[in-house]
Amino acid sequence: MSKLQTIYPQAVEHTKMKVFEDIDRYLEMREIPASFEQYLADRGHYVEQIWVNVWLNKSTNDVPKNEKKQFLSEKGFELQGIDRKLLNKLFRDEMRMFQPFNAMEWIEETFAGKEELWVERCQEAKVNFLKLEEQKQLDEQKQLIRSEIEDFAVGILEEQYEVFYLYVRHFVAKQLAADLKNNVKFQSVDPVALEEKLVDQGSFDSTAYTTVASFFEELTGDIHKTLNWGRSLFEYQTYFFVYESLISDYISELIPDKILEQLTDKLKGSFHNIFHEKLSASFVKGSIAQLLYDLEGYIIEDIQDEYVSDLIKLAEIPFNRKIHKEIFEKDLKEREKKQKEEQEELQRKKEAEERMMKDIFGAEYDPSLQRHVRYVLHIGETNTGKTHHALERMKTANSGLYLAPLRLLALEVFDKLNAEGMPCSLKTGEEEKVVAGAQHISCTVEMFHEKEYYEVVVIDEAQMITDKDRGFSWYKAITKANAEEVHIIGSRNSKTMLLELLGNSDIEINEYSRETPLEVEKKEFHIKHIKKGDALICFSRRRVLETASRLQNDGHSASMIYGSMPPETRKKQIEQFNKGKTKVIVATDAIGMGLNLPIRRIVFLENDKFDGTRRRLLTSQEVKQIAGRAGRKGIYDTGKVAFTSDIKKMQNLLLQEDEPVHTFAIAPTNSVFERFQRYYHDLGTFFELWGKFESPKGTKKASLSEEKVLYQLIAGTEIEARLSLMDLYGFLHLPFSKHEPALTRQWEDTLYAIIQGRELPEPIVKEGSLEELELSYKAVGLHLLFLYRLGERTEAIYWERLREEVSDQVQERLKTDIKKFVKKCKSCGKKLPWDHSFPTCDACHAAKYRKYRYDEFEF
């Protein structure tokens, strides 16, 4: 039997019931009884609609989807791809004419010509109406009495709260003492973590708890259901829920009885006169349900503040209001005294911590530029000769120091000065090249040491001072440089901040403008438009390799630059481009940092980049920094810039006036650590204090997130115990790729070797894939960081040679492996267009989308 056949007679009976209800409502409101004919005249239009409403609602809601489809298909409807809403509409339309029940015909058969039956119906309706009116009056009187009881109870509860609390306090005390004595303590877990098995830890130790609230957090061992944002969920039960229920039950019995005892005889008499029964505690309980709920909340809040030790002693004392009141007042006085002492102690500790923080961090991050140093600012856009002019001045000095943002730039300046006959040494964290008789050094900014004197110091890319992780190295170099003359090279938007930082120092400002103008091309770039001297910019290693692969397969020789590429390999790739051995260069935004290349045109293959959290549009400064590499005086007198899409929007970013930056980054210094060690000797506490330290106005703290992650690996181990705080932080701060698990393991193994006096473990060198070679290069680099930090310069020579060999292998592998990096659909393997923005092809994406749409509308 179909559902339609089943529900049809039900709908008919429901319709008849609705008609009878309408007749009763019609008749009961009339002073003079109405005839059946008058009813039909007044209500016939409504009776005719009852069946339609009942039947449409019942058939639509009760008939399943597949039966609706079958019914409509038999009627000739095409239902392929139809959604639920349209299906129901078509079905309802058909149901309007499905075997209609004639309610008017039925009612006429029932009452027409049967006047006695109609009169009887009228009389019953009138009697029922009077009964309802009488009940309504009784309900109103009952509600009035409930309100009077509630008003009376409000005053009682306010006046006698302490009395009721004493009862509950003793009840909870006895329950608490029993639970602590008889129940099992379980190891603490997150209550929602039901996948974790509870571990029995034996009996409770009452001395382990100060307040009742701390005990309420313990687990009972049971599982219960709770509501969270309207959703039911199961979790391990804590004692809070047990005592909440116990207290609720207890006061629900106690309070109504106590209220009933104190109600006036007049109120009790009124109730008896109306309802002919004695007023009960049950009726009182129903009248003050909301008050009981509110009272429960106040009592539970106060109970949680009680000391467990006080309640355990109270459990042994039989209840006596006077005695328990005295005990409570004494306990409360003692508790308030203790809490006051605790607050005072906390305040003393807070003030002591503030004094300590001021002592440790204090004025450390004030510039302190009251020295006889001359500052020369070189401010301007990319590729305007700023660095060249600063280096020319450094060459005339008896001694000089160049500080670079990248190891590759330090290497470039080292090569440049030596090639020009100016002896210069090199010092980065991973290598040292000492040139005999050299009084000039090129190094990375992190290698700066404030105690070393130079006649001239050159600090490149000073706008990096705003970087939250590395910026402090620039801050330290600018403010602590021990020199007669400090040359600071920065972008235009860093000028205001640098002047604020330098204060009233002796400052000379040199501003530079491009001699080779930039010109944005009006047409969107396509790879078939590639020309000699182009630099194609994308923002991932994978995209660089895929693009270079496409170019080489099309017959275009290409150099590559990306962040994880060894600097020596990068240098060779650049040399090939400079000498014309490669036609174009494909690079990430690493190209924007100080690399001087004969680039005719910068082409942005992408307008956005992943910043570690999300994909976002390039900033104006990023577009300018990269685009500024286009044009080279004497080679390309105009720098071209091209985009693959949104040319107008990207051009606006290029032309947009830079917003001046006003904040710079700060990080811990040796002086900070020296002062910290007067108070503590563990880095865990230091990281905690660094988190609390409020960065001075105009500064932002380095996050130290990578250092903290590394610290978690060795916290509490032999490494932390055996190394001094300064040495340990120095090892945490080593510049290597801390997101590579293989390198963090190497770092940890090396530290164990150092403290145990063993030889340092050799880095793992694999000659497999390009990725393995690049990782091997980093592993050797990390090993060199340790060797130089430990003063093992002789051994470092061997590893520098090995690293160079690995770099050569990377260079060779780029030539052979590059063809493997063809952009393919990750689903079907189909070759994708060079500018395809997604990892899957359109066909696979469409198929996935169709499946999603089909699943979404299944019902």
> Side-chain half-sphere of 56: how many Cα atoms within 13 Å?
14
Residue 857 has pLDDT above 50, yes or no: no
**Amino acid sitting at position 496:** T
Contact 369, 558 (CB under 8 A): no
Q: 278-296: per-residue pLDDT in tens?
A: 999 999 999 999 999 999 9
Model pLDDT, residue 859: 33
What integer pLDDT is reported at residue 165 of this predicted model?
96
Span 717-744, mean pLDDT?
90
Q: Inform me whether the pLDDT recorded for 341 exceeds 90.
A: yes
Q: Take residue 572 and report the two structure tokens written for it.
A: 């060779």
Q: Is the pLDDT at 123 greater than 80, yes or no?
A: yes
Reduce the DSSP state of residue 351 to 3 states and report it. helix
List Cα–Cα distances, 138 to 135, 147, 264, 276, in angstroms.
5, 14, 21, 12
Asked whether residue 71 carries a pLDDT value surpassing 60, the answer given is yes
Q: How much is the average pLDDT of 210-214?
A: 95
List all residues 6 or more positions away from 351 whose beta carbon is below 8 Å from its beta carbon.
none
State pLDDT tens for residues 503-518: 888 899 999 887 788 8
**Among 604, 630, 599, which residue's Cα sits nearest to residue 618?**
604
Q: Contacts by 652-659 with C-beta closer than 8 Å and gap 24+? A: 653/618, 653/619, 653/620, 653/623, 653/624, 654/518, 654/520, 654/620, 654/623, 654/624, 654/627, 656/620, 658/491, 658/492, 658/493, 658/620, 658/621, 658/624, 659/493
- E-assigned strands of 164-218? 184-186, 200-203
Q: Which amino acid is at 29?
A: M
* Per-residue tokens: 9: 């007679």
Q: How many Cβ atoms sit within 10 Å of the Cβ of residue 327?
A: 18
Which percentage of the chain shows pLDDT scores above 90?
45
The proportion of the chain whose per-residue pLDDT surpasses 70, expressed as a percent, equals 95
Q: What is the mean pLDDT of residues 816-825?
A: 72
Q: What is the pLDDT of residue 771?
A: 87
pLDDT above 80 for 106: yes
What are the DSSP E strand ranges found in 256-314?
A: none
Judged by phi (left if over 0) then psi (alpha if -120 to 50, else beta), residue 757 lies in left
Sign of the CA dihedral with 182 first, then 184, 188, and 191 last? negative
DSSP letter (8 states) at residue 306: S
Q: How far apart are CA 684 and CA 690, in angstroms?
A: 10
